[in-house]
Each structure stands twice: as C-alpha cells, then as structure tokens.
Structure 1
Amino acid sequence: MTIAEFSSPEFRTIGLPMRNLSPYLLTNTTDLGIGGTNVMAYMIGQIWWEGGGSHTVDTTGSSSIGWYNGNGTFNNAGTSFSVGLAAVDTSSGPSGVPVNSAGTPTLGVSAVLTGGGGGVTNNAWNETVPTTGSKTIANGELVAVCMYMATRGGSDNVQVRGVSGNSILNRSMPHVGIYSAGFSGQNLLTNCAIRASDGARGYFIGGQIWAGSSSQTWNNTSGTKEFANIIQFPYACKAYGAVFVAGVAAPFDLVLYSDPFGTPTSQASFSVNEKTVAGNSTASTAYMFTTGFGLTLAANTPYAISMKPTSASNMSLNYFTFGVAGHQTSVPGGDNGYAVSRNTGAFSAQNSQKDRYWLGLLVGGGDTGGGGSVGIIGA
C-alpha cells in the first residue's frame, strides 16, 4: 500500500458535524412560519444516497422524510399539512422551485397530516412517514422536499427550520424557499433528509442537518478528562493534524487513539499552547498541522481524536446534535462515528450516538486498498 502525498497543503477535514461542501462551519438557524392557506416551505438540492444507486421512497419499509419543526402550533382539525417530495420545475416560473400549480406542489410521495391529529412535534426533529405515493430517486438527482399547508384552521403555524443565513444562499444550490402568494428565496441552507424503503439515507449535497447544539466545559480535574469524536474512513489515508471549534484559555493536548472502545492507545499527540489559538477563551476555529501526526489510518477502522486539558483552567468544546443517530453518516468521516468521552479506560458514547463534537482530523492522500492511490482534496 502506498499513500500519495500532496505537494501543496491541501487537506480534507473529516469528523466535524459539517456537511461536505457546506460553506459554513458554525450553524445558526431560522424558522420559516407556515401559517396560511396555500403556503409552502421547500428545500431543493441534489440527493446523495448512502452507497449510491437509486432508491425508492414510498409508504413501505423505512421510508420517511426528516425535517425540524420549531415552536409551532398544530392543533386545529381544520388544518391540512403535507410533507412530501416533488420534482424541480425546469420549464416555467422562477428558478429553484418545485413543480407546482399556483403554489400547490405536485408531490410524488407525501404524508397528509391533520391539525390536532399528531404527526408534528414541536422543537424536535420530525421523521414523517409517507401515507401516499411513490418516488424513485437516482443518486445526484435534483429533488424538492416540500412542507405545504393546504388549509389553515385557527392560528396553526408550523415552523420549518433552516440553517445558516447568508445573502448568497438565495441564489445557490442547495436552496431554501417559501411560497406565500409568490416564491421567495430564504438565504438558508437545507435542513432535511430522506430515507428510502430499503433503509438507505439520502442527504442534500452541500446541505446541513440541524437538531441542536451546545458545548462541554471541563478541565483536568473534572471527572471526565477527555472528550472526543470517533472517526472512521472508508479507505486508508494519512492524518496530518486536527481541526476544532473550542474555547481555550490554557494548554491542552490533541491525542489520536487507536482501539478507542477496547484499550485506547495514543498513536499521535500534539501539545497546544493556548496563545497559538486566536480568541483563547472564546469559541474559535483552529487548524493544527503537525508532522508529529503523519499517521496512516487503516480503512474501516475506528479511531478517536480527543481534546485533553492539561491544567485546572476550563476549556469548552462545541458539539452538535442530530435528530437521529443514523444522520452521523451525513458527516465526512462519520461512518460509525459519534461523540465519546472517558476518564480512564475505554471511551463510551454520548447521548445515544446522536452528538458530535466540532473536532476532526486533517487528512491527505489515500489508498484504495488495491495498490492504487487516490487524492483527497479539501472541501
């Protein structure tokens, strides 16, 4: 096996809770109020399936459409609300909208929910199971996820959550918009996922999946000494350092472990002086390159990248929460990966494998296992 080396500093960050090609590292959120007759929120992008291929979303098996509802109201029996999948209109109207008739989406597969009858949970990730239709989606196909209020009873108002506002996003793909007597881009990243009847999960390329975020504060006198992410890569590559979003005011170590669930063994470590991290005690992002890493990671093998304070001064490490543990696969390096911690001995999972720290590796080069090397470009 030969690992190809780059001649320029082109590394890929793996392990952080950030969708590949997403233009943002941190996540802010905005709720789109769907509170009126013939009002719709829609999220459009190209679907990337686990394992590639084509998959069908219908009323059978594991089929579902995942999205986040904020602090909304859905208790009036006069409200009809649909969650479904539509094709993207390529022939009429403005760009970046689902196929529709005067704002009513043409849904190939959907669930029709009635206010007061359940099916919409506030301040939570919702996995909506279709009740009608079928839609087969190829890997890379452009698809619209639609949340549509056909009729509104009383003051019902569903709050569809998008991620990370920026003015360029209302002209980009993936794309988020709203229809209320007209179409309007919303300066947000998509915040949804789909699951096929065979269990395969599909994500929008360049989108994000948000269900919550927080931070962990600790020091070297705390009962838990190390917080880490499990990282597993599908082919051999080389780790050159780490990237993190943390607040540090004192020295700490970055440690890369093998066998994290058995007998964790340090394979590489790097002591960080807090003065080398801009922001110090605030949450700042840092890429820490060190030739002291240079470790070849074996394919399909779990490793843990850990932060370990070396003084009694507090540090804090941000983490992200997925709505379901299976969404860890949306993260580069997320196959069988999630947040873990330990005092001594083996690492253990945090929050039923739904959390992931803003902590990852810088990797470069790669090997397919058949003797041919591959390059990994920073994304």
Structure 2
Amino acid sequence: MTIAECSSPEFRPVGMPMRNLSPFLLTNTTDLGLGGTNVMAYMIGQIWWEGGGGPHTVDNTLLSAIGWYNGNGTFNNAGTSFKVGLASVDTSNGPNGRPVNSTGTPTLDVAAVYTGGGGGVTNNAWNESVPTTGTKTIANGDLVAVCFYMATRGGSDNVQVRGISTNNAFNSAMPQVGIYNAGFSGQNLFTNCAIRASDGARGYFIGGQVSAASSSQTWNNTSGTKEYGNIIQLPYACKAYGAIYVAGVGAPFDLVLYSDPFGTPTAQASVSVDENTVFSSGTTSSAAMFTTGFGYSLAANTPYAIAMKPTSAGNMTLQYFSFGVAGHQTSVPCGDNGYAVSRNTGAFSAQNSQKDRFWLGLLVGGGDTGGGGGGAMIGC
C-alpha cells in the first residue's frame, strides 16, 4: 500500500460534528416561531445520502421520517393543522430561495400531518415526523426543500422550528433557511434537519448541520474520568498528523491518538499543549500537530480514539453535540461508527448510547483506496 501526499500540507479535519464547509458551531441556535395561519419555515439544500448511494425514496409506508428540532412551543389546540414535508425548490421565483408553493402554501410531495393536541410534536426535543401522504424519490445532489407549514392556527399555538446560527460561516447561501409570513424572507441560519428513506438510508443537506442539543464537559486530572474523546473509523488508509478541537482551555493537556480503544488502548501519537501558548478567552477552536507519532498511519475500517487528557488540576471544558438519534453520527464527515467515549483507565466506553460527539477530531492527510497502486486525496 502506498499513501500519497501533496507537496503542501493538505490536511482534512475528520471526526468533528460538522458537515463539509460548515463552521465550528457551538451553542448558538434560533427558533422560528410559526404562530399564524399560512405561515411556514423551510430549509433548502442539496441532499447527500450516507455512503454516497442513492437514489432513495421517502414515502408513506411509515418507514420514512423527517427529523427536526422543536423548541419550547405550544401545540394543544384542535384547530391547529401543522405539516412537515418535502417539496421541490422553486427555480422561477426569488430570491430568497423558496419551495414550490401557491401564495405561501407549499406543494408537498410527501408530508406528515398533525392536529394540535393530537400528539406527534414534542417540545424541546428532536422530532422524527413520519410521512402519511405522498412519495418522493431523491438522488444524491438533488435540491430539496424541507417544509414546516402551519396551515391553520388554533388559539395561541406556536411551533418553534430550530435553526443553527451561522456565525459568519463560509456557506450561508446554500443550504439556507427561510420563513414565509405574508412574504418570503431568508434567515441567517443553518439547516438543522435530516431525512430517512423507507429503506433506512439517511440523507443530509450538504454543508448543513444536524443537532438536537449542544453541551460541554468540564473536568481535570483529579476527576473520576480522566479522558474524553471520539471514536474515529475511516473507510480508507491515511495518516494522522494532529488534532483539532473546540474547548475552554484552563490547564495544560495532552491530545492522544489511541489504537484498540475498546480493548487495550495504546497511545500511537500525541502532543502536549501548554495553556499559556494558546488563545484562551472562553471557548476557542484550535489545532495541534502531533510531536510524537507524527504522520501515524491509520488502517482502513479500524477504530481509533482521539482523546483529551488534562495534566493538572486546572479545568478543561470540551464542547459536544447530542444527536436526536445515534444514526445521525453519519452526518459527520467520516463519522460512521464514531461517537463520544470516555475512560478513567482501561478500555473506552460510549457516552449517551452513542448519541454524543465531542468537538474533537483528527487532522489527516494522504490517502489510499486499498489497491496499493498509489494514493488519492481523501474524502468521505
């Protein structure tokens, strides 16, 4: 096997809970309130099916779903009719981008229909809406609109559709979030949704995000748990050169790459970071190159752990995302079979039934498809 490298340092971050081209997002979210008749929130982008396969079909067989987060809303009046569905994107009108519609009423190809007070919409939680009408087949790269439409509003009902703040992100034009309330307007938010086809395949917006919640873990070297990190398992062979993280740095710490994380963890690469050498005003993102094991070769389809370990009694605070379902780990670049783990000594164990993912990843370079005849630029 030969792993090819570029002349310049072409490193790719893997394992972080972000989509390609997305920024390092933390806890900034905004809920779009649907508190009126003929009011809609929508999210538009190109779909990527996990594994790159497709096309896949979302239908009314009760095996499909549209995942989204509902904030602290109200949905208890029988006079409220609310729909979650998929539509094509209008290429004749705009900007702002919008679904195919008639005066704000989306033309839904597939939809789940709810009546206020009848259940199906849960507050402050990730919701998996199961379509009961229609069918829509989507290929990789297809432009799709996910719509949240309040057809009629009873009483003071107000569904709260959550988006994620862009923080001056690189890609705020596509995918995009919008709202209709007597007119279309774009919102400075990232998409926060996912779809599941009837065959179980999961689809995500390219450049979008998927998150049910975000939080942080604070600890030091006197805590009962000494190390927190992520499992990373790549579908190709490559080399690990360093780590990238989003954390509050209040102490010196080590970043350690382990092989055999669920058996006998063995440190293969590491770097020690002095808190005095990094910007440490609140939560920051940074990268550190390994000083031992630099360019460690990762085998394909093999689990590794990248972990953060404080080396003094000063506190570290490491950010993490919690997904609505463990299957959404596939929304992370090269996130298949990866999730948050921790340990004191011995083997690592999963956190929160494999639904969590720390803002901690590897910087990798080179690549090989396994044929041994040369390398390829890495990608997932």
* TM value normalised by structure 2: 0.96
1:128 Cα deviation after fit? 0.2
Equivalent in the alignment of 2:254: 253
1:142 aligns with 2:143: yes
1:165 Cα deviation after fit? 3.9
What per-residue deviation string (whole Å, max 9, x for no partner) do you get for residues 143-184 of structure 1? Answer: 000000000000000000001145789971101000010000
What per-residue deviation string (whole Å, max 9, x for no partner) do you get for residues 190-241 of structure 1? Answer: 0000000000000000001121111111111111111110011110111000
Equivalent in the alignment of 2:288: 288
Q: Distance in 1 between matches of 2:369 and 2:9?
A: 21
Matched-pair contact (CA < 8 Å) for 2:96–2:186: no
Amino acid at match of 1:41: A
Q: CA RMSD in A?
A: 1.7
Amino acid at match of 1:8: S
1:374 aligns with 2:376: yes
Matched-pair contact (CA < 8 Å) for 2:233–2:303: yes
Equivalent positions of 1:222-241 (< 5 A) are 222-241=223-242
1:85 Cα deviation after fit? 0.1
Q: Distance in 2 between matches of 1:174 and 1:244?
A: 24
Equivalent positions of 1:189-228 (< 5 A) are 189-228=190-229
Matched-pair contact (CA < 8 Å) for 1:169–1:188: no
Query: Does the C-alpha gap of structure 1 residues 24 and 317 become closer, same or farther in structure 2, counting only changes over 3 Å?
Result: closer
Equivalent positions of 1:54-203 (< 5 A) are 54-60=55-61, 62-165=63-166, 172-203=173-204
Q: Distance in 1 between matches of 2:16 and 2:75?
A: 34
Equivalent positions of 1:314-325 (< 5 A) are 314-325=315-326
Q: Distance in 1 between matches of 2:300 and 2:168?
A: 40
Amino acid at match of 1:358: W
Query: Does the C-alpha gap of structure 1 residues 24 and 347 become closer, same or farther in structure 2, counting only changes over 3 Å?
Result: closer
Paired residues in the alignment total: 377
Amino acid at match of 2:35: G
Stretch moving more, 164-173 or 289-298: 164-173
Q: Give the fraction of aligned pairs with identical amino acids, expressed as a percent.
A: 80
Q: Distance in 2 between matches of 1:369 and 1:138?
A: 27
Q: Distance in 2 between matches of 1:370 and 1:107?
A: 45
Q: Distance in 2 between matches of 1:346 and 1:80?
A: 50
Q: Distance in 1 between matches of 2:91 and 2:17?
A: 33
Q: Distance in 2 between matches of 1:212 and 1:344?
A: 28
In the alignment, structure 1 segments of 5+ residues that lack a partner are none
In the alignment, structure 2 segments of 5+ residues that lack a partner are none
Q: Distance in 2 between matches of 1:171 and 1:250?
A: 35
Equivalent in the alignment of 1:8: 8
SS at match of 1:306: strand
1:25 Cα deviation after fit? 3.6
Q: Distance in 1 between matches of 2:365 and 2:314?
A: 33
Matched-pair contact (CA < 8 Å) for 1:30–1:165: no
Q: Distance in 1 between matches of 2:127 and 2:41?
A: 15
SS at match of 2:251: coil
Amino acid at match of 2:55: S
